[in-house]
Amino acid sequence: MSDGCCGPAAIEIEQFLAPAQADVLPVVVIGAGPVGLAAAAHLAERGLDFLVLEAGQQAGAAVGQWGHVRVFSPWRYNIDAAARRLLQAEGWTAPDPEWLPTGAELITDYLVPLAEHPAIAPRLRLGAKVTAISRLGYDRVRTIGRDDAPFLIRLEGGEEVRATAIVDASGTYASPNVLGASGLPAYGEAQAGDLVDHALPDVLGTDREAYEGRHVLVVGAGHSAATTLLALAQLQNTPITWAVRAGTATRTYGGGGADALPARGALGTGLRALVDSGRVQLLTGFYAHRVEVTANGVRVVSRDPSGAEQAVTVDRIVAATGYRPDHSIASELRLDLDPILGSTRALAPLIDPNEHSCGTVPAHGADELAHPEAGYYAVGVKSYGRAPTFLMATGYEQVRSVVAALAGDWEAAREVQLELPETGVCSSNLVEAQEVRVGLATGISGGLLATPLPLVTVNAGGGCCG
């Protein structure tokens, strides 16, 4: 049979597809963060073969980049149920359920033991960065026989891996939003790259020298912005300017004493005190439009929708403007993405930040996460697209449902349940973990408390980071 104008005919494709191969191939999990390893734990419990591919050199590599940050949710929200069962069967003792762990503690006390579990360790590959996903022998256009073809996963080194299904928990930490308003980079933003950091620099630790004694501009109204502001306030001789697009900082101040997570609610108290005292200068209605590197520092010019401009000159910038998913590795798959958020269309109305905080997002699972590409699920913070309302606990429920669906247990997959701490606003703050447990003292104290990134909504309230 000749190729004709449009490539090999379907029968020729079948010649290099092993007919029953998809039945014996593993489920591939992309990412060995909290949600990816939770997926592995559920797959292990279900007796499904799997392979975890992690781009970094350790489990929780992305978490390690904010290891100095203390999340605002206690351990009881941060440990997946299946992971807990696997670990306890090996003699692991869970941390104090009311303790607020740092990112580093999440890794050492939970993610590393989970990654080293005998049910997971032989199926975990570190340093395996996924660069593309497709169907073996099928580009996005071909349909007939598509669902029977295994997934083809290409790694950075040129190796290819086949899978029967994919659970993409690769997160969004590597794709931060730009500094500029309107979703576009500010003019000159790229040229000022060495003077711009994205979210949660370790200003009290490894990055202290770069910030102390310098005028710092923090742009953003979310959890990571608040965390950075509270940390910067502890540095001597360090002027701080905080810029938000809104007319007030009310959203960032959060739910205060009404929050079910005291550490999260304390954000408003501490941050408002910094602004009221003048320690932090607040600029509202600030739409970053232009960045100019000058002899006196980096000048950031705002141009609001009316055309009015204001400007501030500083030494360094923290662009705490959130993250967005990068779906480019799946560009040959058939994804049905919401045009606004970049999540699935079914999930978008449930997580819309215009309607929900992370504490009010309803439970959801495999049905809401499914794409037209059967067997591919994006989970964790990546599943939320650009919505900053993700909680780690939500990600755990997602993978429980998805793995049940992959095992054919649709009754369990659709019995989605989720208990979240309620709040008005999900965000992070700085306060001693010990103080949070016994009741906050008045004023600002010095532990680093946040939710990640993205939890991160903390992006992760019930934990931060997907």
* Strand ranges (E), 213-286: 216-219, 240-243, 280-283
Is 263's pLDDT higher than 90?
no
**Burial of 423: CB neighbours in 10 Å, binned 0-12, 13-18, 19+:** buried
**Looking at the domain assignment, is residue 280 inside a domain?**
yes
Mean of pLDDT values over 220-248: 92
What's the whole-model pTM score? 0.83
> Could you give the percent of the chain with pLDDT greater than 70?
81
Q: Residue 360 has what pLDDT?
A: 75
Q: Are 315 and 214 in contact (CB under 8 A)?
A: yes
- Single out the residue in 321, 339, 355 at which a domain terminates: 321
Same domain, 214 and 349: no
**Looking at the domain assignment, is residue 459 inside a domain?**
no
Q: Residue 449 has what pLDDT?
A: 39
Is 146's pLDDT higher than 80?
yes
**Looking at the domain assignment, is residue 461 inside a domain?**
no
Mean of pLDDT values over 110-114: 98
**Looking at the domain assignment, is residue 293 inside a domain?**
yes
**Looking at the domain assignment, is residue 142 inside a domain?**
yes
What is the band of 463 on the pLDDT scale with cuts at 50, 70, 90?
Answer: very low
Same domain, 152 and 80: yes
Same domain, 316 and 346: no
Q: Residue 221 has what pLDDT?
A: 87
CB atoms < 10 A from the CB of 57, how many? 9
Same domain, 55 and 75: yes
CB atoms < 10 A from the CB of 177, how many? 20
Same domain, 386 and 364: yes
Same domain, 41 and 76: yes
pLDDT tens-digit map of 14-44? 332 333 344 579 999 999 999 999 999 999 9
Sign of CA dihedral 351, 357, 385, 107: negative
Same domain, 70 and 142: yes
**Looking at the domain assignment, is residue 466 inside a domain?**
no
pLDDT tens-digit map of 271-315? 888 999 999 999 999 999 999 999 999 999 999 999 999 999 999
Same domain, 160 and 186: no
**Looking at the domain assignment, is residue 433 inside a domain?**
no
Among the ranges given (73-77, 146-150, 242-246), the one the predictor scored with the smallest mean pLDDT: 73-77
Q: Residue 95 has what pLDDT?
A: 97
Q: Residue 260 has what pLDDT?
A: 53
- Single out the residue in 321, 346, 365 at which a domain terminates: 321
Please, what is the average pLDDT of the chain?
84
Same domain, 13 and 159: yes
Q: Which helix (H) or strand (E) holds 92?
A: none
Same domain, 151 and 221: no
Mean of pLDDT values over 112-136: 98
Q: Which domain holds residue 10?
A: 4-174+324-414
Q: Are 225 and 411 in contact (CB under 8 A)?
A: no
**Looking at the domain assignment, is residue 54 inside a domain?**
yes
Task: List 410's β-bridge partners, or say none.
Answer: none
pLDDT tens-digit map of 61-82? 999 999 999 887 889 989 999 9
Total domains in the fold of the chain: 2
Is 259's pLDDT higher than 60?
no
* CATH number of the domain that residue 281 is part of: 3.50.50.60
Q: Residue 226 has what pLDDT?
A: 87
